[in-house]
A and B are shown apart, each in its own frame.
Chain A
Amino acid sequence: MATPIDLHEVAIRELETRSRYPWRIKACASTACQSAGAGPAYSAMEREISNSGQTQTVQLVPTGCMGLCSRGPLVRVLERGGDETMYQHVDAEIGSDIVKSHTGQRIPIQSNVLDHHGPFFAEQRRVVLANAGIIDPDRLESAVAHGAYLALEKAITTMTPDQVVEEVRASGLRGRGGAGYPTGTKWSLLAGAAGDQKYVIANGDEGDPGAYMDRTVMEDDPHRVIEGLAIAAYATGANRGYIYVRAEYPKAVERLDRAIRSARRNRLLGRRILETDFTFEIEVRIGAGAFVCGEETALMASIEGKRGMPKLRPPYPTERGLFGNPSMINNVETLANIPAIIDRGSEWFRSIGTEGSPGTKVFALAGKLENTGLIEVPMGISLRTIIDDMGGGVPSGGAFKAAQTGGPSGGCIPEQFLDTPVDYASLSELGSIMGSGGLIVMDDTVSMPEVARFFMEFCMDESCGKCVPCRAGTVQIHGLLDKICTGRGTAGDLALLEELCVVVRETSLCGLGQSAPNPVVSTLHYFRPEYEELLVDREAVDA
């Protein structure tokens, strides 16, 4: 059996290596920047470093997401003991220019410099994404140099499982997957469940259109997810874990696999972790990309190799879950908070965010904004700060109309509520939800009935087909919205639409159907005249 890793020694060695280079260039190799051309830029920089003889002075590091995806590919140049410069839109040419001019002759390429002290960065509070854009996700040592696995070590060598559960409960952390269930309560349910075989599962089946919070965490800091899951297992008495990732995230799967292997090699996973009695194995399971598999019981069915369909609850997973054993599912982002909570304590965690919603939340900021990308903000920040300051507002010429949170299960929030603090309770009061963190800003060119139709089409296609209200109800809601959007809807259709939304919400089997009407209900609530303007008399409809 391999000797366990000495985390401190590895960290010191890593930092020593790093300090040998006067310059370090961190290039975002995350999916968004890759699609913007980060690959060729990286190669160009690599080539130029070698061609200009800077291999001993410049270290080039591929990192995860730096956040401001709309300006990608992003590159950061760090001078030893000196300043940091951030570059935007770095293509191959700019890349080699940076090496030639900036690290070679100390002359920055002004045309592409990005102000990384601006509100987009300054308003952020990075806990979950602390290492994203900093470390090389493919190297365990890089993560360890930034504190990975210290919390696991602390938990399993200095704390009892009960103390860990208590710390998480005291932190007030709530599930980041959407519903906001208190994580500590969930953990104590599993810890209290009888049975020799228990499972902990990381839910990385991020299915909301436009959302990539969990993908980023898994791709850019896979060890944080592994560590969080291992701590969860230790606290609840589980000896086996699964990370469920959708097939559309091949890079996340690859990185998690590699991270799990290197963690295992270093006795951070497997038998007798860090020479303690704690044994824990993790396996990555790939989903086929069905939205419904984000639902706990459907996800477990999928891991079991069955058709991803939700089951009736009770029994709840903590009583009878995966393979009939007590199980617990936590969202990837939830688990990514755990190492920091254990490391720095629940009190520290509570100092971020609000009383009812402590901590931070990662949002995928998208839509009609100057700046779009991935942000991590303290809970309680106002939507206005996110949209106007961080997002830079709606590009000139347009006017803000609504912010959509929570994806297909969420709702649209109009201008007058932009000062609302972002927390679980406030968003739900507005008829929306925190959801997993999708935040789409729409300008006044957008028709709200069409927005509702878009989300309903998504839910209709993603319904598993098990229960009647969701399977057939979403089809009819979509049909009614389509009639209204295309000028064939009557007042009767609108009334029927509203009635049907209630039935689907109240009688569907799982969260997918229960929340599917939300985009319709919320747009009707705030933008009803837009629907009414589209209505016609029945006589005018040509059969």
Chain B
Amino acid sequence: MSERLRLATVWLGGCSGCHMSFLDMDEFLFDLADRADLVYSPIMDVKEFPEGVDLTLVEGAVANRDNLELARDLRAKSARVVSFGDCAVSGNVTAMRNPLGDPLAILERVYVDAVDRDGGIPDVAPIVPGLLAQVLPLHNVIDVDVYLPGCPPPADRIRSAVTALLEGALPRDRGEDIRFG
């Protein structure tokens, strides 16, 4: 496989810790740069998700309308999608709002109940995208090819998964590599 791979990373409802862990791959990033072009990422200034992406790592859960749109868009334009980290795989911390109820209940909890000075729920529509009724794992809204749990997945796990995917294979027999948390 000598052709350069088109690689993307996406940040949905998450803390960006998975991206930090990605950057923790240190010198492997140079090897990766030899093999692949990063065509879309929160660390780049690209507005539109591009066409013809070979591999997309998606961090974060699907929490709002923007997340949902981007998830559907990237699925249509990516050959392989990886659920990257616990939030994408399970909703994780991002989904801890789910038991609290619908978006209005969440906003009340955050902007009214939990503050000393009640300024009310800010009216920010349509600038801030609307919250979904429930925070969802990525595979609830699009097809996912590979799951890479971990909060965040340690750098070496990312590396072994990405290495396999660069070879065009799906990671197998992963043992501890799929541990949540």
Contact = CB atoms under 8 A, between A and B. Distances in A.
Contacts of B62: 543
A539 B73 CA distance: 11
Given A543-B62, A543-B134, 7 more contacts: A538-B141, A539-B72, A543-B68, A543-B132, A543-B133, A543-B136, A543-B141
A121 to B, nearest CB: 56
Nearest to A541: B141
B142 A538 contact: yes
A543 B66 CA distance: 12
Contacts of A543: 62, 68, 132-134, 136, 140-141
Nearest to B68: A543
Interface string B138-181: 00111000000000000000000000000000000000000000
Closest CB pairs A-B (n = 7): A543-B132, A543-B68, A543-B141, A543-B136, A539-B72, A543-B62, A538-B141
Contacts of B142: 538
11 contacts: A538-B141, A538-B142, A539-B72, A543-B62, A543-B68, A543-B132, A543-B133, A543-B134, A543-B136, A543-B140, A543-B141
A539 B72 CA distance: 8
Interface residues of B, number: 10
A389 B140 CA distance: 50
Interface string A528-543: 0000000000110001
B97 to A, nearest CB: 15
Interface of B: 62, 68, 72, 132-134, 136, 140-142
Q: Is the interface of A mostly helix, strand, loop or mixed?
A: helix
A543 B140 CA distance: 9
Contacts of B141: 538, 543
Nearest to A539: B72
Contacts of A539: 72
Interface string A178-208: 0000000000000000000000000000000
A448 B76 CA distance: 35
A300 B73 CA distance: 58
Nearest to B132: A543
Contacts of B134: 543
Interface in A501-543: 538-539, 543
A543 B69 CA distance: 10
Contacts of A538: 141-142
Interface of A: 538-539, 543
A543 B95 CA distance: 14
Contacts of B136: 543
Contacts of B132: 543
A480 B134 CA distance: 17
A538 B75 CA distance: 12
A306 B134 CA distance: 39
A537 to B, nearest CB: 11
A543 B130 CA distance: 12
Contacts of B72: 539
A450 to B, nearest CB: 24
Nearest to B139: A492
B172 to A, nearest CB: 21
A491 to B, nearest CB: 12
A538 B72 CA distance: 10
A539 B71 CA distance: 11
Nearest to B76: A539
B130 to A, nearest CB: 11
A538 B76 CA distance: 13
A124 B94 CA distance: 63
A200 B9 CA distance: 68
A539 B141 CA distance: 8
A543 B12 CA distance: 15
Contacts of B140: 543
Nearest to A492: B143
Contacts of B68: 543
Nearest to B135: A543
A543 B142 CA distance: 11
Nearest to B142: A538
A268 to B, nearest CB: 59
Nearest to B71: A543
A538 B62 CA distance: 15
A543 B136 CA distance: 8
A543 B68 CA distance: 8
A4 B142 CA distance: 78
A538 B140 CA distance: 9
A23 B7 CA distance: 95
A538 B132 CA distance: 16
A529 B140 CA distance: 24
A543 B132 CA distance: 7
A543 B64 CA distance: 9
A543 B62 CA distance: 9
A538 B142 CA distance: 8
A539 B75 CA distance: 11
Nearest to B64: A543
A538 B134 CA distance: 16
A296 to B, nearest CB: 37
Nearest to B136: A543
A538 B136 CA distance: 14
A543 B70 CA distance: 13
A72 B132 CA distance: 53
A538 B144 CA distance: 13
A543 B141 CA distance: 7
A539 B69 CA distance: 10
Nearest to B72: A539
A117 to B, nearest CB: 61
A543 B133 CA distance: 7
A539 B142 CA distance: 8
Nearest to B134: A543
B99 to A, nearest CB: 15
A526 B136 CA distance: 34
A539 B133 CA distance: 17
A538 B133 CA distance: 17
A506 to B, nearest CB: 25
A16 B140 CA distance: 77
A455 to B, nearest CB: 26
A427 to B, nearest CB: 39
A539 B140 CA distance: 11
B90 to A, nearest CB: 16
A538 B143 CA distance: 9
